[in-house]
Amino acid sequence: MIVQQIVQKALQKAQAVQAVMLTQETSAVDFENDRLKSAESSQRTQIDVKVIVDGKVGTSSTTDPQDLEGVVNRALEAAEFGSPAHFELPDAQALEPVKIFDPSLLPLEKPEMIRMGQQMMDMVKTYNPEILAGASINKTVYKVEYANSRGAEYSADHTEFNVGTGGQLVRGTDILFAGHGVGQKKRAVDTEEIAAQAIEYFRMAEQIAPIESGEMPVIFTPRGLIALLLSLGLAVDGKSVYLGASPLRDKLGQQIASPSLTILDDPFIEYGPRTSAFDNEGVARKITPLIENGVLRNFIYDLDTAGRAGVKPTGHGSTRNLTNLVINPGNIPYETMIRNTSKGLLVHEFLGLGQGNPINGEFSVNLFLGYKIDNGKLVGRVKDVMLAGNAFEALKDITAISKEREWVSGPWAWFAGLIPYIQVGKLSVTAK
């Protein structure tokens, strides 16, 4: 393995070394405005090296697998000016078996991917020929190899499959964008279901419903929950906790949300979009409870922040990215949540992340796609509406969690997870 060669080369001058190599092949098909825009294949190799020399850390990267001497020397040179090493590289660890590779994806070629995209767009166009339809189908096969100077050596083959469709509908000055997508590590994707969900978002938006400003109940779709999960993700980041920037830094073991809320970070879900057995620092992944019955249970640490904080790393890599978020379901059907709401808002998507201070939970965001609830019914799409509040206060004010859950992943998804619909008792809605 090339990563082992790198470790041996660097150990001539370094006291500790790790090397990670990614080799990747991608086939991507994209449609835009009813037409095939591109059908391309690409290959990528990336090698990342980290060394510890005289107690200092040096890193370097290359996309050239022939540049082993150069990437090692650059890491050694960077260590002269590097930050102090507050950690030791991990020993070899037993890895949890995970399902991350689907061989049935290998024979899938671009002609079939084009057919899949066209089929989804045809469904959208059949619903409304005025929609300018688009689609995206992306197949990736990649291998991750890891080795370090303490004898840890891992290798994993992954597949990924991302499929989505949607489009835009222009009526005078009104422009509506809607779509739906799924991402996972296996081929079994129901393209008709994806197109049907995209059509449903268009159908729900056929009527424009004026809404008054004020405080009202808000139901977040699984995808719309980003407004709250973004702040939570930033606040449980071990670096923010160590630096004192997280509002949750002194809340471990305390009630920070409704007792109905339980959130796990689960890297072992079969063919989950972010499933894997080890991170890019050679730390074995594990299931990490974030919130249990409203109580904060864990922060997320990489090797460096764990070393500084005097705790163990959690297996989330050098960027401390969450894997597959799993929110426990509630006991009420989504349709009942709607029926039980006399006046309120269903929130699905935002225009950017808006203004505010996300790490402290403050958000003020423009709705990209939201629907008015009136007398227990969805009566149409709202326009020019802003939603504001505090994510941590909203998590305490959860009034209902649906029995149904949906995967949020793939095209247009910021995070990956199995997420229910969640209703918050009251948030500020501003309509122009």
Owner of token pair 């370094």: 14
Counting Cα atoms < 13 Å in the Cβ hemisphere of 311 gives 15
Say what the pLDDT of residue 273 is.
Answer: 94
What distances in angstroms separate CA 418 from CA 148, 320, 327, one per listed residue? 34, 19, 6
Q: Residue 240, Cα to own-chain centre: how many angstroms?
A: 19
- Strand-pair category, 325-327 with 343-357: unpaired
Say what the pLDDT of residue 413 is.
Answer: 58
Q: Which helix H or strand E contains 116, and what residues bound it?
A: helix 110-127
Q: What is the mean pLDDT of each run of 10 residues along the chain (432 residues)?
A: 95 97 98 96 97 97 95 97 96 96 97 97 97 97 98 97 95 89 93 96 91 96 91 94 95 98 97 96 97 98 96 96 96 96 94 77 91 95 94 97 91 78 96 88
Say what the pLDDT of residue 350 is.
Answer: 87
Tally Cβ neighbours within 10 Å of residue 381. Answer: 25
Amino acid, res. 145 = E
Q: What does the alpha-carbon distance between residue 285 and residue 317 come to, in Å, rounded to a whole number?
A: 9
Say what the pLDDT of residue 358 is.
Answer: 86
What distances in angstroms separate CA 384 from CA 94, 111, 209, 408, one per listed residue? 53, 41, 11, 25
Nearest to 327 by CA among 218, 205, 188, 421: 421
Q: CATH second-level architecture of 2-204?
A: 2-Layer Sandwich (3.30)
Q: What does the alpha-carbon distance between residue 196 and residue 190 come to, in Å, rounded to a whole number?
A: 10
> Helix (H, G, I), strand (E, B), or coil: what is residue 120?
helix
Q: Residue 397, Cα to own-chain centre: how many angstroms?
A: 24
Say what the pLDDT of residue 37 is.
Answer: 97
Tokens of 182: 């799924």
Mark out the alpha helices in 310-424 (DSSP H runs).
334-339, 391-396
Say what the pLDDT of residue 51 is.
Answer: 98
Say what the pLDDT of residue 172 is.
Answer: 84
3-state secondary structure 149-192: CCCCEEEEEEEEEEEEEEEEEEECCEEEEEEEEEEECCCCCCHH
Q: What does the alpha-carbon distance between residue 402 and residue 398 come to, in Å, rounded to a whole number?
A: 11
Tokens of 184: 């996972």
Say what the pLDDT of residue 41 is.
Answer: 97
Q: Domain ranges in the chain?
A: 2-204, 208-432
Name, in order, each residue with C-beta under 8 angstroms of 297's C-beta and a sequence gap of 6 or more. Answer: 252, 253, 289, 290, 291
pTM of the predicted structure, to 2 decimals: 0.92
Owner of token pair 């098909």: 29
In angstroms and rounded to an integer, the radius of gyration of the C-alpha atoms of the chain is 24
Q: What does the alpha-carbon distance between residue 388 and residue 291 come to, in Å, rounded to a whole number?
A: 23
Q: For residues 152 and 3, is the Cβ–Cβ distance under 8 A?
A: no
Q: For residues 204 and 371, is the Cβ–Cβ distance under 8 A?
A: yes
DSSP secondary structure code for residue 129 in this structure:
T
Say what the pLDDT of residue 411 is.
Answer: 54
